[in-house]
Structure 1
Amino acid sequence: MSTTAPIPFLDLKAQQARIADDLRRRIDAVLKHCQFILGPEVQELEAALAQFCGARHCVSVSSGTDALQIAMMAEEIGRGDAVFLPAFTYTATAEVPLVLGATPVFVDVDPHTFQIDPRHLAERVAEVKAAGRLTPRAVVGVDLFGQPADWVSLRSIADANGLFLIDDLAQSFGASLHGAMLGSQADATATSFFPSKPLGAYGDGGALFTESAEKADLYRSLRTHGEGKTRYEVLRTGMNGRLDSLQAAVLLSKLTVFPAELEARERIARTYDQRLGNAVAVPRRVPDSTSAWAIYAILLPDEAARDRMQGGLREQGVPTAIYYPRPLHLQPAYSGQHDGSRLPVSESLAKRILALPIHPDLTDQDVDRICGAVLAMA
Structure 2
Amino acid sequence: MIPMVNLKAQYEEIRDEIEQGIAETIANCSFILGPNVQNFEKEAAEYLGVKHAVGVASGTDALHLALLAEGIGVGDEVITTPFTFIATAEAICYVGATPVFIDIDPKTFNIDPDAIEQAITPKTKAIMPVHLFGQPADLTRIQQLCEKHGLKLIEDCAQSFGARVNGRQTGSFGSSAGFSFFPSKNLGAFGDGGLVVTQSDEIAEKLKMYHNHGSKVRYYHDVIGYNSRLDDMQAVILRVKLKRIEQYNAGRRRAAHLYSKLMADLPLTTPFEDGLGEHVYHQYTLLCDRRDDVLKALQDQQIGCAVYYPVPLHKQNVFKDAYAHVKLPVTEQVAATCLSLPICPSLEDKTIEQIVGVIRRTLVG
* Greater displacement, 207-216 / 188-197: 207-216
Q: State the 1:246 CA deviation.
A: 0.3
C-alpha contact 1:80 1:103 (8 A) present in aligned 2: yes
Q: State the 1:256 CA deviation.
A: 2.6
Q: State the 1:339 CA deviation.
A: 6.2
The aligned amino acid for 2:48 is C
Show the counterpart of 2:343: 358
Report Cα offsets for 1:11-51 as digits up to 9, x if no partner: 11111100011001110111011111110000110111111
Q: State the 1:316 CA deviation.
A: 2.6
Provide the C-alpha distance between the structure 1 equivalents of 2:145 and 2:192, rounded to a whole number of angstroms. Answer: 32
Report Cα offsets for 1:298-332 as digits up to 9, x if no partner: 1012xxx1111111122233221000000000111
Q: CA RMSD in A?
A: 1.2
Q: Secondary structure of the residue that 1:142 maps to in structure 2? A: coil
Is 1:287 the counterpart of 2:275? The answer is yes
C-alpha contact 2:177 2:196 (8 A) present in aligned 1: yes
Show the counterpart of 1:238: 225
C-alpha contact 2:69 2:206 (8 A) present in aligned 1: yes
Show the counterpart of 1:132: none
- Equivalence map 1:333-352=2 (5 Å): 333-338=318-323, 340-352=325-337
- Which of 344, 349, 357 aligns to 1:372? It is 357
- Which of 216, 234, 238 aligns to 2:204? It is 216
Q: Secondary structure of the residue that 1:290 maps to in structure 2? A: coil
Structure 2 length as normaliser, TM-score? Answer: 0.96
Show the counterpart of 1:110: 105
Which segments of 5 or more consecutive residues in structure 1 lack a partner in the other structure?
A: 1-5, 130-134
C-alpha contact 1:148 1:286 (8 A) present in aligned 2: no
Q: Secondary structure of the residue that 2:31 maps to in structure 1? A: coil
- Equivalence map 1:92-171=2 (5 Å): 92-125=87-120, 128-129=121-122, 135-171=123-159
Q: Secondary structure of the residue that 1:166 maps to in structure 2? A: strand
Show the counterpart of 2:86: 91
C-alpha contact 2:70 2:203 (8 A) present in aligned 1: no
Provide the C-alpha distance between the structure 2 equivalents of 1:214 and 1:78, rounded to a whole number of angstroms. Answer: 18
- Equivalence map 1:49-64=2 (5 Å): 49-64=44-59
Is 1:225 the counterpart of 2:213? The answer is yes
C-alpha contact 1:50 1:56 (8 A) present in aligned 2: yes
Q: State the 1:257 CA deviation.
A: 2.3
C-alpha contact 2:138 2:276 (8 A) present in aligned 1: no
> Across the two proteins, how many residue pairs are aligned to each other?
362
Provide the C-alpha distance between the structure 1 equivalents of 2:127 and 2:135, rounded to a whole number of angstroms. Answer: 18
Is 1:182 the counterpart of 2:177? The answer is no
Q: State the 1:183 CA deviation.
A: 2.2
Q: State the 1:213 CA deviation.
A: 1.9
Which segments of 5 or more consecutive residues in structure 2 lack a partner in the other structure?
A: none
Q: Secondary structure of the residue that 2:220 maps to in structure 1? A: coil
Q: Secondary structure of the residue that 2:297 maps to in structure 1? A: helix
C-alpha contact 1:297 1:354 (8 A) present in aligned 2: yes
Is 1:172 the counterpart of 2:160? The answer is yes
Is 1:249 the counterpart of 2:236? The answer is yes
With over 3 angstroms needed to count, the CA separation of the structure-2 counterparts of 1:339 and 1:163, relative to structure 1, is farther
Show the counterpart of 2:64: 69
Percent identity between the aligned chains?
40
Show the counterpart of 1:3: none
C-alpha contact 1:103 1:337 (8 A) present in aligned 2: no
Provide the C-alpha distance between the structure 2 equivalents of 1:256 and 1:187, rounded to a whole number of angstroms. Answer: 26
Report Cα offsets for 1:67-99 as digits up to 9, x if no partner: 111111112322211111101100000011212
Structure 1 length as normaliser, TM-score? Answer: 0.93
With over 3 angstroms needed to count, the CA separation of the structure-2 counterparts of 1:74 and 1:339, relative to structure 1, is farther
The aligned amino acid for 1:313 is L
Is 1:32 the counterpart of 2:20? The answer is no
Show the counterpart of 2:245: 258
Provide the C-alpha distance between the structure 2 equivalents of 1:285 and 1:14, rounded to a whole number of angstroms. Answer: 28
C-alpha contact 1:104 1:337 (8 A) present in aligned 2: no
C-alpha contact 1:105 1:338 (8 A) present in aligned 2: no
Q: Secondary structure of the residue that 2:318 maps to in structure 1? A: helix
The aligned amino acid for 2:172 is S
Q: Secondary structure of the residue that 1:119 maps to in structure 2? A: helix
Is 1:197 the counterpart of 2:185? The answer is yes
C-alpha contact 2:53 2:195 (8 A) present in aligned 1: yes
- Equivalence map 1:271-282=2 (5 Å): 271-279=258-266, 280-282=268-270
Q: State the 1:156 CA deviation.
A: 1.0
Report Cα offsets for 1:267-293 as digits up to 9, x if no partner: 111101211122120111021421221
